[in-house]
Structure formats: C-alpha cells, structure tokens
Amino acid sequence: MKTYRQLTEREISTLAANGCQAENWSQVTVGEGFDAARCQRVTFYGWARLGSSKGSIEVSDGFVKLCGLNNATLRNVTVGDHCLIENIGNFINNVTIGDHCHISNVSTINTRDRATYGQGHLIAVLNEAGDGNLLIFNELNSQLAALMVNHASNRPLMAALNALVEQAVAASRPTCSTIGNGVSIGNTNEITNAVIGDGCRINGASRLFDCTIASTDDNPITIGTGVICENSIVSGGSAITGSVKMVDCFVGEMCELTNGFTAASSVFFANSYMANGEACAAFCGPFSVSHHKSSLLIGGMFSFYNAGSATNFSNHAYKMGPMHYGQLERGTKTASGAYLLMPANVGAFSVLFGKLMYHPDTRDLPFSYLIAYSDTMYLVPGRNFATVGLYRDIRKWPKRDKRRGGERKSCVNFDWLSPFTIGEIVRGKRILENLRAASGDRVSTYNYHEYVIKAASLRQGIEYYDLALRIYMGAVLKRHRPERPASNWGEGNWIDLAGLLMPESEERHVVEDIISGRLDSIAAILDRLRAINSNYNELRWSWSYRLILDYYGIDVLDDEAIARIHADYVEARRKWIALIREDAVKEFSLGDVEREVLDDFITQLDGEIDFENQRLYM
C-alpha cells in the first residue's frame, strides 16, 4: 500500500516557479521519490496523488525521456511511479493511472457518472430487431455466449445468468476509469469511462467510451489509429487498428479487427480476423475470418468460417424488419459474391456459391456444396470432404492458435471428424439412401427440400460419407482400448457449442444446473464447460463404440472385428488422400497454381501415406 504525504513549502514554491497551479495545494499529496522539478505547467483541480517521478521511460525504440508531468490539467487523479504524462490538451479527470505509463498528446481522459466500462452491457445478437440476448462482460467466452444466445427464450435460465453476471461485474467494477501499469497512450482524442489493462498500447485512437481493454503484460492489446470503440470489451492479445469502428461488441482473445472494419452488436472469439468489411448482430465464433471490404456478416452464427469477397446475408423480411437469422456450422466457406437468404442453417464444412434462396437447411448434409445457378439451387452432398481446401483448413487452424495459457478462455476443439460431424454424416447418408430408394436409380435428379441433387452427386455423396465413417471409426479405435465403455455418458446427439464439441445432454445438464443454482457463479459455469472439454476423449469413445457396433452389425469388438475395422480404415484413408491429390492436380490443370506449389503439396500428401506414424487430424 503506497503512502502519500503533503507537499512541503519548498516543493510548492518549485511547482509554482515551473508554471504549476492548484485549486488547493493541501489536496495534492505525493509519494516517495516525487521530484517537484519534473512537474511543469500542470494545473491541479480537486485532489491528486502523485508517485515517484524519478527515472526515465522509453517512448519509442531507443528514445528515452525523463519521467514527470508536463503541460497537463489533472482533477481527482492518481498517478503511479515512474510515469511520463505530457501535453494533455483538455484534462484528465477522475482517473487512476498505474506505474511506468507514458501518456502523451491526449485530449481528454475522463470518468462520467453511471460508467459501466462496457461490463454487463446487454446486446442483441443474431436477431437484429430483437430484444437483447447477450450480456457482455470480462469473463465471457464463446461457450457462455452461445448458451445465452441459443437459450434466450428460456426465461429462468436468462434470469439466473443475469444475476450471476451482475454479481461478477459488481465485484470487479472500479469507482473510476483506470489505466494499468506499463500503458502507453499517444495522439488520442478521447478516453471516457474506460478500464485499460497492463501493457496496453493505444496510439491515434479517436474515441474509447464505456470500454474495458483487458490487456495484460503477457497478452498486451493494441488500439490503433482512428479507432472508435463504444460500449465494448476487448480481451487479451487482440489488436483493434486501422480506423475500426465498433459499438456494443465483445472481442475475445487474440482477435484482430483492422482496415476500416465496422461492427455493431457483434461478438468475436479466439483468433478471429476481420478487415475492411462489416458485421452486425453477428456471432463470430473461433477462427472466423473476413478480409474483404464488400463482405457483410449479419444475423448469423459462425465458427472456423471464411467469408469470400462480397459475401452478403439477407436478414430483412420485406415489411417486418431485420428479424431473421441463421447458422453456418463450423468450417463453412462462402465463395466470392455469395448471398444467403435467412433464415438458413448450413451443415459443417460446406461451401456456398451464388445467390442461395429458399432458406436452405443442410445441417444433416455436411461437407456439401450449395450452388445457385440461375433460379435453380443445387446441392452436392459431401463434395467438400475430398478437396484440397478442406485438407489445408483442418491443418492450419491448430497452427494459427496464437493464444497463450492465460488467454484460453474459450474452449476450442479442432477435431473435424467428431461425434458432432459424424452424427450429421450418419443422418446425411441415410437421407441420401432414402432419396435413392424412394425415386429409384433411373432418375437424373433428386429433390431435397427446394434443392436439386444430381444422380451422380447423390451416389458420390454416399461414397464420401462412407469414407468419412470408416476413417473416423478406425482412427478412434486406434486411440482407445476396445473394451466397452463403463457408461453411456457420451451417447445421444452431439452439438458444437461455439468451438466446444459435447453431447447435447451435457448442455441440457448445464442449463438445468444454472437454473437450479447448483452452478452458482460464472466461475463455476466456466469450470463445468472446461471439465466437459477435458473429458472429450472419454465422451467420444462412449459415443463411437455404439456407432462401430451398429455400422458393422456386431455385438462385441473381438480381434476379427478390430482387424476388419483397421483394414477398412487403411483403405479409406488412402482413398481419401488419393482424392485430395486428384483435386490438387485438377486445380493445377486449370492454370491457377504454379508447378512448385503443386509439387510441394504432393510431397506433403506423400508423407500422409505413412499415416500409421502420424497423427490423424480429426
């Protein structure tokens, strides 16, 4: 606990000689190491607590200045040790500043009445015209956000969560704006009602209002030129630069928003990257990416998503307003110029082309292409399963996870073949087989809702899905002893809760325990979600064991069955690699790929042939 003393008469004389003045010198107190000679042209209103002004601070690479206070107006301010505060155009009012800070060329840093610092702020995600359904606060992760959004109509749940969030926020809400240790703020216009964490770098920002910038020394945050950030929270390691404008947003760990991107009532989690375009009422789960100026993410839930240029979503009913929304499950891509009419639900790892109408729902047909050709909507089931794009995607995400231990708030499971996607594949294979059985083999097309499936695409889709099943079952069996699971804990339908793969029954239990009070704090809820993630392997085996028995029509996994499953796995995986190689060669033949790029990729694929000694990316 720092101690402060009154100024001496000699210090007051020195300050006055340096052009300083005070409303009441008795309310200016100083700590050990204060040097009045390093305080020049400063006006004090109200009270001030000033730390040591000894030493120097690096303001740019190799450029060191003496610590002190110069050209500033302060009111009700605490300044930590070894800081340099200079050239404050307007004032600093009701602010606590930590140690080793450099604040220069700033107009205003202020705290107003009823400051929330963005904490506990209610925003409307997905349904742009709807009531608020998501409370943003510092401890929010993608799973807790998804629970709120998915169960917004569950009033007992939302009431319980509201109380727990308010409890968490009240315990950490400061009495005034705070600036942590080692913070650098320069060339910035206005900072009002803000909590700025340790190590943060702010340079050239236009306005920060009612925000928490949760920077840490290990995961510093960068706020850059022209940024306007209101009623928002930014998590550790993230960067908001290049004239970004965002209102009512939450930015999770290690995200980057840049190059004029604008966002309203949206959330971004775990390594998401947004540039140039726009987001409105968007739920951008882990690894959501949009690079292009003409892309608009609106009224949608995404994760592991890549938006092509000029991607657009229509959430506007003609006369009833922007009330529609939908979900693109993990791994989905939209091609350049893609348009999707909401409400819509697209299965995992699908690719969308053209202007897609008729509100598609392909959640049971993952890895598909959806193609608009004139007024006809085509569905190519399973096509993306054997493409170069998928192969590259499933390997790049783990490598691009920049989060460190302390900033892994959201649970992210990278498995691309999991009980979640395999469950969809099982249902999708059954759908295709039923379509073929109902219409026969002599037709040229099949209809699935308002979408057309060509006969060749349907046959190929069944083959792709069967390959995926055999690869998955063989890979899972390699990782587990073949004994029957001790319980049926992981059985039933699985979901992807914004990056966390889990049985639907576990989500139901979490909801019930929040309502009942068994989960009585935000920390307890997050611990439960992390525990589910930690038990993924056991849950997966329980689910997969039943799948294997059903697929092969057996009652027990004996040596003969295990040998058969392994042989099917080897054959299926080799065929999958061959299909990807064929897709790469086809792309090269179009003239869009250099020979060197193709050769490098083929070399990588050849290494996959020795897959027994490599990890299967599931």
* Cα–Cα nearest to 122, from 229, 248, 300, 228: 248
Instruction: Report the pLDDT averaged over residues 460-483.
Output: 94
* Cα–Cα nearest to 330, from 287, 299, 361, 372: 287
Spell out the residues 6+ positions from residue 402 whose beta carbon is closer than 8 angstroms to its own. Answer: 237, 254, 271
Whether 609 has a pLDDT exceeding 90, the answer reads: no
Amino acid at 400: R
Q: How confident is the model at residue 552, as a pLDDT?
A: 96
Task: Using a pLDDT cut of 90, give the percent of the chain over it.
Answer: 86
Amino acid at 363: R
pLDDT grade for 607, boundaries at 50, 70 and 90: low
Amino acid at 531: A
Q: How confident is the model at residue 616, as a pLDDT?
A: 41
Q: How confident is the model at residue 613, as a pLDDT?
A: 37
User: Which H or E element spans position 529?
Assistant: helix 522-534
pTM of the model: 0.94
Q: What is the pLDDT of residues 290-301, one digit of tens each?
A: 999 899 999 999
Buried (b) or exposed (e) across 193-215, using 16+ Cβ within 10 A?
A: bbbbbbbbbbbbbebbbbbbbbb
Whether 606 has a pLDDT exceeding 70, the answer reads: no
Q: What is the pLDDT of residues 474-533, one digit of tens each?
A: 999 998 888 888 788 889 999 999 999 999 999 999 999 999 999 999 999 999 999 999
Q: How confident is the model at residue 603, as a pLDDT?
A: 77
Q: How confident is the model at residue 430, as a pLDDT?
A: 97
- Computed over every residue of the chain, the mean pLDDT equals 94
Mean pLDDT comparison of 302-311, 315-324, 487-496, highest-scoring range:
302-311
Residue whose pair of structure tokens reads 């850059």 in the numeric block: 224
pLDDT grade for 364, boundaries at 50, 70 and 90: very high
Q: What is the pLDDT of residues 395-453, one digit of tens each?
A: 999 999 999 866 689 999 999 999 999 999 999 999 999 999 999 989 999 999 899 99
Instruction: Report the pLDDT averaged over residues 36-43.
Output: 97
* Cα–Cα nearest to 125, from 298, 374, 308, 335: 298
Instruction: Report the pLDDT averaged over residues 453-472.
Output: 97
Q: What angle do CA 156, 161, 164 make, to 5 degrees?
A: 130
Q: How many CB atoms within 10 Å of residue 363?
A: 16
Domains along the sequence of the chain with CATH: 1-110 (2.160.10)
Instruction: Tell me how far apart the alpha carbons of residues 155 and 166 are, in angstroms, rounded to a whole number.
Output: 16
Q: How confident is the model at residue 324, as a pLDDT?
A: 87
Instruction: Tell me how far apart the alpha carbons of residues 237 and 253 are, in angstroms, rounded to a whole number.
Output: 6
Provide DSSP, 467-498: HHHHHHHHHHHHHS-SSPPSS-TT-S-EEEET
pLDDT grade for 610, boundaries at 50, 70 and 90: very low
By mean pLDDT, which of 74-78, 123-127, 352-356, 589-593 is the weakest? Answer: 589-593
* Contact of 353 with 548, CB cutoff 8 Å: no
Q: How confident is the model at residue 323, as a pLDDT?
A: 77
